[in-house]
Amino acid sequence: MNNDRRKFLKNVAIGGSALAAGIPAMAGMIPATDQEMEHSGKMETKGQQFNMCGYAAPKLDKVRIGVIGLGQRGSEAVSRLSYIEGVEITALCDKYPDRVASAQKTLEKMKRPKAKEYSGDEGWKALCESNEVDLVYTPTPWHLHTPIAVYAMKHGKHAATEVPGAKTIDECWELVETSEKTKQHCMMLENCCYDFFELLTLNLVRQGMFGDIVHAEGAYLHDLSKDYLFNKNAYADMWRLKENIGHNGNLYPTHGLGPVAQCMNINRGDKFERLVSMSSIDFSLGKLADEMAAKDEFFKPFTGKSYRGNMNTTMIQTNKGRTIMIQHDVSTPRPYSRIHLVSGTKGIAQKYPGPERIAFGHSWVKKEELDDLYKKYSPAIVNHIGNIAKDVGGHGGMDFIMDWRLIDCLRNGLPLDQDVYDAASWSCLVPLSQRSVAKRSTSVEIPDFTRGAWTNNKPVDITLNGGGNTGVRNEKPELKMK
């Protein structure tokens, strides 16, 4: 965000609705960035510099990739990307050198050339500055997503960043403005948009099978508490547990939100208008911290903290009057669910709880009918690469479809399925939900990161779009292109 906008928004927030609403101006109660959240969606002090929606960057015969962050997600990405033709992983970076060495072994196993190594707290900057990288691929802790993506784009690189793409409204605008100014792609790696049922749902929506979409639901309901949040070996420096302290809202909205936002053509014919968000209190994380600290002094610093509420529910209304419910709970024991419900005037689709199901009336279709829908309406990308994706792996194959699609678009000069406006509008639920919760679930405006271009932008079309030239390196006997 430029300095003029930042100063203006802060002045408006301090002198305007914060006092009018009777909100106490207590130090630390509402940070400056939170004040900006409420107003930045209403401001259009600066027009769109360049519309990145539908933008096709010049073709790259070879996509040279630098991977920053080589923990579990990053190391898996190195393996997946190594299967794709036209890819060369030229650089590897992690704070910890041993992780870089491990990724080098993966490249060797995949018969790929050795990559240049970067390490240390700021090794990522040198990687972004390198002339041997076209795409910076970033599966790092959340607080580094925006800084790395912005730095990469400013140095002439496309950016692919893990979710969420940003943590604050300032960061959302920084991504948008940098991508527009540099004309470099900024894709948030929302893999759930590429899962098989989600792709089927999207195509059924495109074909009008569900009529006018009225309502959708998504979630990230995944108990991470003992195995991940309080696991000393899961996240470096316990960064993800720390994210759950002092941030009361939906910290991880995009897995559930991304696929249904595409079904509603958000930023391409419709847009998010406002949200309200409510959180339960914390019933378990604080208690678990006490239990862990009683057994291990390592966890003593995590006791007595203000943990976010276990369940957060956020409701969104769009410009066209549709509604979306998004939930977040990673700390109570329950089966995994992203819900993925899309409801229209002619039908409904729902993924969780299983089995996957679709209805065009009062009854769910039978399995045989669902199988027929898969055969008839699965997008071309699934028919082209789906079986290989299942063999390569990555959350059942959706990670590989996402990676393959990104590379194929860059090699064929095609627009990306997810652009910087999606990264910003899906990620902004993180700070805006916290804002609403802090204000007793008051309605909060959602910025229009397209600055009005949403009215003319074209819907997402996750098909081959004339591309599909990218092959797969046959490192496994079962990997065969159709």
Let me know whether 79 and 202 are in one domain: no
Find the helix or strand (DSSP H, E) in which 263 lies: helix 254-263
For residue 50, tell me if it sits in a domain. Answer: no
Tokens for 103? 């990724």
CA distances to 63, 325, 343, 348, 359 from 214, rounded to whole Å, are 40, 12, 6, 10, 15
Let me know whether 34 and 79 are in one domain: no
Mean pLDDT of 100-116: 98
Rounded-to-integer distance, Cα 298 and Cα 93, Å: 28
Q: How confident is the model at residue 474 (pLDDT cuts 50, 70, 90)?
A: low
Q: How confident is the model at residue 289 (pLDDT cuts 50, 70, 90)?
A: very high
pLDDT surpassing 60 at residue 30: no
What sign has the CA pseudo-torsion 190, 195, 199, 205? negative
CATH number at residue 100: 3.40.50.720
Let me know whether 172 and 196 are in one domain: no
Q: How confident is the model at residue 471 (pLDDT cuts 50, 70, 90)?
A: confident
pLDDT tens digits, one per residue of 308-365 = 999 999 999 999 999 999 999 999 999 999 999 999 999 999 999 999 999 999 999 9
Range name among 12-16, 193-197, 224-228 with the lowest pLDDT average: 12-16
Residues forming beta bridges with residue 89, ordered by sequence position: 65
Let me know whether 236 and 266 are in one domain: yes
Let me know whether 75 and 222 are in one domain: no
What's the structural domain count of the chain?
A: 3
Mean pLDDT of 419-427: 98
From 172, 190, 208, the end of a domain falls on: 190
pLDDT tens digits, one per residue of 79-106 = 999 999 999 999 999 999 999 999 999 9
pLDDT surpassing 60 at residue 435: yes
Let me know whether 176 and 210 are in one domain: no
Domain region containing 391 = 192-455
Mean pLDDT of 123-127: 98
Let me know whether 379 and 243 are in one domain: yes
Q: How confident is the model at residue 461 (pLDDT cuts 50, 70, 90)?
A: confident
Cis peptide before 164 (omega within 30 of 0): yes
CB atoms within 10 A of CB 79: 18
E strands in 201-251: 213-221
- pLDDT score for 2: 52
Rounded-to-integer distance, Cα 96 and Cα 73, Å: 15
The alpha carbon of 299 is separated from its chain's Cα centroid by a whole number of angstroms, namely 30
Tokens for 48? 């769109």
- pLDDT score for 473: 79
Rounded-to-integer distance, Cα 43 and Cα 447, Å: 8
For residue 462, tell me if it sits in a domain. Answer: no
Per DSSP, the three-state class of 213 is: strand
Backbone dihedral region for residue 96 (phi beyond 0: left; psi -120 to 50: alpha; all else: beta): beta
CA distances to 39, 44, 387, 400 from 472, rounded to whole Å, are 47, 45, 12, 11
**Any residues with CB less than 8 A from the CB of 436 and at least 6 apart, and which?**
249, 275, 276, 277, 278, 314, 442, 443, 444
Question: Do 391 and 381 contact (CB within 8 A), yes or no?
Answer: no
Q: How confident is the model at residue 33 (pLDDT cuts 50, 70, 90)?
A: very low
Question: End-to-end CA distance of the chain, in Å?
Answer: 46
From 190, 212, 245, the end of a domain falls on: 190
Tokens for 210? 């569900």
Let me know whether 243 and 370 are in one domain: yes
- pLDDT score for 462: 80
pLDDT surpassing 60 at residue 8: no
Let me know whether 101 and 85 are in one domain: yes
Question: Do 350 and 215 contact (CB within 8 A), yes or no?
Answer: no
Rounded-to-integer distance, Cα 176 and Cα 421, Å: 6
Let me know whether 433 and 306 are in one domain: yes
For all residues of the chain together, what is the average pLDDT?
A: 90
Q: What percent of the chain has pLDDT above 70?
A: 88
Let me know whether 135 and 228 are in one domain: no
Rounded-to-integer distance, Cα 118 and Cα 123, Å: 5
For residue 435, tell me if it sits in a domain. Answer: yes
Mean pLDDT of 254-275: 98
Per DSSP, the three-state class of 468 is: coil
Mean pLDDT of 366-380: 97
